Amino acid sequence: MHDKLLTDAAARGARYLEGLDAQPVFPRPEAIERLRGALQAPLPAGPCAPQEVLKFIDEHGSPATVASAGGRYFGFVTGGALPAAVAAHQLATSWDQNAVTFNCSPAGTLFEQAALRWLCQALVLPESADGTLTTGATMASFACLAAARHEVLQQAGWDVERHGLNGAPPIQLVASEEVHGTVLKALGMLGLGRETLLRVPVDAQGRMIAAALPELHAPAIVIVQAGNVNSGSFDPAAEIIPRAHAAGAWVHVDGAFGLWARSSPKRAALAAGFEGAGSWATDAHKWLNVPYDCGIALVRREGLLRAALSASGSYLMLGEHRDGIDVSPDSSRRARGVDVWAALRQLGRAGIAALVDQNCDQAAWLAAGLHKAGVEVMNEVVLNQVVVAFGSDERAKTAIASIQKAGEIWCGGTRWHGREAMRVSISSWATTQGDMEIALRAIVAAAR
């Protein structure tokens, strides 16, 4: 039964991917409505053959999917999924491992540890860093900031895990005006508040202005960004981090996609200085092109993730080995390390750099083509992000809607520098030069 069913699932998956080019990048309204209708039925009284379950999902679900696994989806910052990572994900699903503890899954634990070590090597960060794989960069920042909160309050003589925040010394929190909303969410979940941050002004590219950094007083946490979601720009880490450290502050890096610039010798200078931070949050499901969901938390000093996030239970048989439950905000979780290891192994050092360079070159090519056609590009294109303006706010909204409706490519809108604009984020191994030519034509046509 397993053989036939899983072969069928793999075949359907392969057919889906092979057919992606012919599918509109965003599903047609009819496909969404058909799925919505099909899902109205109440919970059936009895069982159904697994083959039939799969058939329903494929026939109703596949046409209603967003073709973000293909080469012409440029919304948000959405990575594709590398073939080895997709295949590894499928195999690991058959394993159904729980990476909660070593005893629950030696394989899950060992792949995670190996993947974390390779990630430090790929991102040129200290290999001694401690880490964990999370659902995404949001929870990676949560884990890192929990470690930061522990450490800065410990330094101030306060045990936050034991006593909580009531009565704790206040932590000075500093980030830029363009801090990502999910970092605020993580701070909120940590009881540090979403609106207690000092917001440092930014320049035209969204980079924190180092000269505007306030005077810092420990306990303090400074959050810097590698890769602005609109422009792709980087905060000046090499200036900010030493100043923060001199004042006894912790520095956390939100590098959901931008941190990957460090893996390319050609782009590493953009993200120079970030290696000095105390913690780094990034994603595997964005630029490393690992299937969802997969984020990465790295903390320079060993023991701090454990101090902030460990859990115990007399039946868990903890201790002898590294246990995920001790360093992760989650307890039970899937073996994400397998997918990450597979992606890193498929690419190798050169392949990771080539993926980053390919997407950056494609962004630069697109920006040059738009410029030549008289379409305004609002940002300095330093990475994989292109912000496109269309004259007026009204025209921008119309252009974005027409591009989305035509279905050849998909780009989302944004508001940047007080103007409506369109974001093009190129983050997939699957994007070809042919895809870029289609994108350029579609954007220029919409602009006219």
Ligand X SMILES: *Cc1c(COP(=O)(O)O)cnc(C)c1O
| Contact between 339 and ligand X per CB under 6 A | no
Residue of 187, 256, 335, 422 that binds ligand X (CB under 6 A): 256
Q: Judge contact between 161 and 150, C-beta under 8 A.
A: yes
| Contact between 182 and ligand X per CB under 6 A | yes
| Contact between 229 and ligand X per CB under 6 A | yes
| Contact between 77 and ligand X per CB under 6 A | yes
Residue of 227, 278, 329, 337 that binds ligand X (CB under 6 A): 227
Q: How far is the CB of 24 from ligand X (least distance, A)?
A: 24
| Contact between 207 and ligand X per CB under 6 A | no
- In angstroms, the CA 247 to CA 399 distance is 48
| Contact between 74 and ligand X per CB under 6 A | no
Of the ranges 82-90, 130-138, 340-348, 361-369, which one interacts with ligand X (CB under 6 A)? 130-138
Q: Judge contact between 155 and 219, C-beta under 8 A.
A: yes
Spell out the residues 6+ positions from residue 150 whose beta carbon is closer than 8 angstroms to its own.
Answer: 160, 161, 304, 307, 308
- In angstroms, the CA 384 to CA 77 distance is 9
Q: How far is the CB of 79 from ligand X (least distance, A)?
A: 10
Which residue, among 253, 248, 250, has the nearest Cα to 237 in the 3D structure? 253
Residue of 234, 257, 287, 390 that binds ligand X (CB under 6 A): 257
3-state secondary structure the chain: CHHHHHHHHHHHHHHHHHCHHHCCCCCCHHHHHHHHHHCCCCCCCCCCCHHHHHHHHHHHHHHHCCCCCCCCECCCCCCCCCHHHHHHHHHHHHHCCCCCCCCCCHHHHHHHHHHHHHHHHHCCCCCCCEEEEECCHHHHHHHHHHHHHHHHHHHCCCCHHHHCCCCCCCCEEEEECCCCHHHHHHHHHCCCCCCCCEEECECCCCCECHHHCCCCCCCEEEEEEECCCCCCCECCHHHHHHHHHHCCCEEEEECCCHHHHHHCCCCHHHHCCHHHCCEEEEECCCCCCCCCCCEEEEECCCCHHHHHHCCCCCCCCCCCCCCHHHCCCCCCCCCHHHHHHHHHHHHHHHHHHHHHHHHHHHHHHHHHHHHHCCCEECCCCCCCEEEEECCCHHHHHHHHHHHHHHCCCECEEEEECCEEEEEEECCCCCCCHHHHHHHHHHHHHHHC
| Contact between 78 and ligand X per CB under 6 A | no
| Contact between 131 and ligand X per CB under 6 A | no
Burial class of residue 359 (count of CB atoms within 10 Å of its CB; 0-12, 13-18, 19+): buried
Which residue, among 344, 359, 368, 366, has the nearest Cα to 429 in the 3D structure? 359
Of the ranges 97-105, 203-211, 230-238, 253-261, which one interacts with ligand X (CB under 6 A)? 253-261
| Contact between 236 and ligand X per CB under 6 A | no
| Contact between 138 and ligand X per CB under 6 A | yes
| Contact between 75 and ligand X per CB under 6 A | no
| Contact between 112 and ligand X per CB under 6 A | no
| Contact between 137 and ligand X per CB under 6 A | yes
Q: How far is the CB of 54 from ligand X (least distance, A)?
A: 28
Q: How far is the CB of 285 from ligand X (least distance, A)?
A: 6
Q: Which two tokens stand for residue 393?
A: 């706010």
Considering beta carbons, is residue 23 or 379 the nearer one to ligand X? 379
Q: How far is the CB of 256 from ligand X (least distance, A)?
A: 3
Q: How far is the CB of 180 from ligand X (least distance, A)?
A: 4
| Contact between 278 and ligand X per CB under 6 A | no
Considering beta carbons, is residue 82 or 297 the nearer one to ligand X? 297
Residue of 79, 108, 131, 136 that binds ligand X (CB under 6 A): 136
| Contact between 249 and ligand X per CB under 6 A | no
Considering beta carbons, is residue 318 or 343 the nearer one to ligand X? 343
Of the ranges 195-203, 254-262, 306-314, 390-398, which one interacts with ligand X (CB under 6 A)? 254-262
Considering beta carbons, is residue 250 or 287 the nearer one to ligand X? 287
Considering beta carbons, is residue 70 or 75 the nearer one to ligand X? 75
Of the ranges 52-60, 199-207, 251-259, 322-330, which one interacts with ligand X (CB under 6 A)? 251-259
Q: Is the dihedral of CA 366, 368, 370, 375 positive or negative?
A: positive
Residue of 112, 178, 275, 283 that binds ligand X (CB under 6 A): 283
Considering beta carbons, is residue 149 or 285 the nearer one to ligand X? 285
| Contact between 180 and ligand X per CB under 6 A | yes
Contact mark string toward ligand X, 291..330, x via CB under 6 A:
----x-----------------------------------
Restricted to residues 5-64, the positions that interact with ligand X (CB under 6 A) are none
# residues contacting ligand X (CB under 6 A): 13
Residues that bind ligand X (CB under 6 A): 77, 136-138, 180, 182, 227, 229, 254, 256-257, 283, 295
